[in-house]
């Protein structure tokens, strides 16, 4: 379960940013997670609940926004959201080699006081 180490790194980053902003408490963290990131959002949330205890993020809310997969079809010249992980173009059925979104795992915002 690599989500524990990912959340540990995320909390370190969030704490550094909170201190840099002059905050003493983190109220909310907002993240974006794509299905191709290899991260299980539920496991990340579970890790957050455990790792936040005793830190300035204890009691904070973790919001995870899903990022859809978006591919680009060279043949059709258009972006599309595939219906499954195969990334086949929804118009012509050819596989896409260019994934433009869906790999994200990022901390977007930290709300502090």
User: Could you state, in order of their start, the residue ranges of all structural domains in the chain?
Assistant: 3-112
pLDDT at 13 over 90: yes
3-class DSSP assignment, residue 113: coil
Please tell me the CATH code under which domain 3-112 is placed. Answer: 3.30.2320.80
Q: Partners of 2 in the beta sheet?
A: none
Strands (DSSP E) contained in 1-113 are 26-33, 61-66, 70-73, 78-80, 98-101, 105-112
pLDDT digits (tens, 9 = 90+) for 37-81: 999 999 999 999 999 999 999 999 999 999 999 999 999 999 999
In the chain, the percentage of residues whose pLDDT exceeds 70 is 99
Neighbours of 27 (CB within 10 A): 15
Identify which of 47, 28, 53 has the alpha carbon closest to the alpha carbon of residue 108: 28
End-to-end CA separation in angstroms for the chain: 31
């Amino acid at each position: 379960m690599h989500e524990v180490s990912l959340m540990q790194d995320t909390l370190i980053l969030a704490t550094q940013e909170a201190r840099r902003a002059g905050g003493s408490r983190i109220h909310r963290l907002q993240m974006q997670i794509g299905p191709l990131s290899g991260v299980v959002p539920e496991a990340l949330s579970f890790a957050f609940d455990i790792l936040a205890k005793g830190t300035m993020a204890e009691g904070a809310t973790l919001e995870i926004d899903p990022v859809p997969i978006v591919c680009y079809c060279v043949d059709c010249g258009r972006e599309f959201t595939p219906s499954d992980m195969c990334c086949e173009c929804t118009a012509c059925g050819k596989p896409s080699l260019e994934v433009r979104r869906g790999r994200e795992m990022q901390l977007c915002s930290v709300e502090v006081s």
